[in-house]
Structure formats: C-alpha cells, structure tokens
Amino acid sequence: MRYTPGPWKVSINSVGQRWVESGEENIALCIGENEQATANARLIAAAPDLVEALDQLQRNLSKAWPRGDRSGFEQALLDTIDQALAKCNCREGLDASA
C-alpha cells in the first residue's frame, strides 16, 4: 500500500494540538503542547520527502558504485539505506519503473 502522497504539513489547532496533514486528510496527531511534540510533528511531516531522497540517493549510488566494485563503506551505506526504506515498508510505495 502506498502512503498518503506529500507534501505533508504541520498545523496547530485551537487547543494547541499538533497535527500532520495532507490537504484535508489528517495523517498523525502528536500529543503534547511542547517543543518535543512540535519536533515530532515536523519529523513525521518530512517523511515523504525523506523517503524520496533516500530512494533517489540509493538509485544514484547503485549506478555510481556497481555491485562487485563497492568498497566496504559503499556497501555499508547502501545497506543502511535499504534498511531504512525497509523499516517503513516504503519499497512497495515507490515507483518500480524508476
């Protein structure tokens, strides 16, 4: 299943709740009326952009560093990107044709 398309933004309602939303759709509510709740909401709101950036980085690095010619650092970096994308199950949400 694909996640709700971005952009996502943070809004604060009349009672001080931090909502992450996309258009008219609510994505998440961050409980609390403090800096930590605001920071959490901003991190969640950045998720679609972060996923797209990681996917693009991985595609570009995979082309620049062909399998079999990668240093330990290069492979570790690509593995870390793979793990981050797998953790959010974003692989199936990305454009398979890219």
- Written as one string, the DSSP assignment of 38-68 is HHHHHHHHTHHHHHHHHHHHHHHHHHHS-TT
Distance in angstroms (rounded) separating the CA atoms of residues 78 and 38? 31
Average pLDDT over residues 90-97: 50
Q: What is the pTM of this model?
A: 0.79
Backbone angles phi, psi at 86, to 5 degrees: -70, -35
pLDDT of residue 68 exceeding 50 = yes
Q: Which residues contact 51 (CB under 8 A, 6 or more apart)?
A: 3, 85, 88, 90, 93, 94
Structure confidence at residue 92 (pLDDT): 53
